[in-house]
Amino acid sequence: MTESAPDSQKKPCGGNCSCASAPAPNGDSGTTRRNVLKGIGATLGIAAYAKALAPLTELTKQTSTALAEMEPPVL
């Protein structure tokens, strides 16, 4: 007799990746390895953006201070 394979809880995406071997998340929480990595990537991207803008904000503070110290023009 030939028995059929038991139904698997795994849902492969169809690509050549390891998600087919990853266990399905419990419930509908949506917490998967992919979502966690996307969240980490977004957090790192925001941190890099803020670090890149830091010199620009410092420059505007210095410019504002210099303009405030200037004497107004005489008309």
Digit-coded pLDDT (tens) for 57-68: 888 888 878 777
Q: What one-letter code names the amino acid at 43?
A: T
What is the token pair recorded at 21? 């071997």
The alpha carbon of residue 7 and the mean position of all alpha carbons in its chain are separated, in whole angstroms, by 35
For residues 8 and 25, give the distance between their C-alpha atoms in angstroms, rounded to a whole number.
Answer: 13
pTM: 0.44
Sequence spans of domains, the chain: 30-68
Higher pLDDT pick, 34 / 13: 34
* pLDDT beyond 80 at 35: yes
What is the token pair recorded at 57? 């904000």
* pLDDT beyond 90 at 72: no
DSSP label at 42? H
User: For the chain, what percent of residues have pLDDT higher than 90?
Assistant: 28
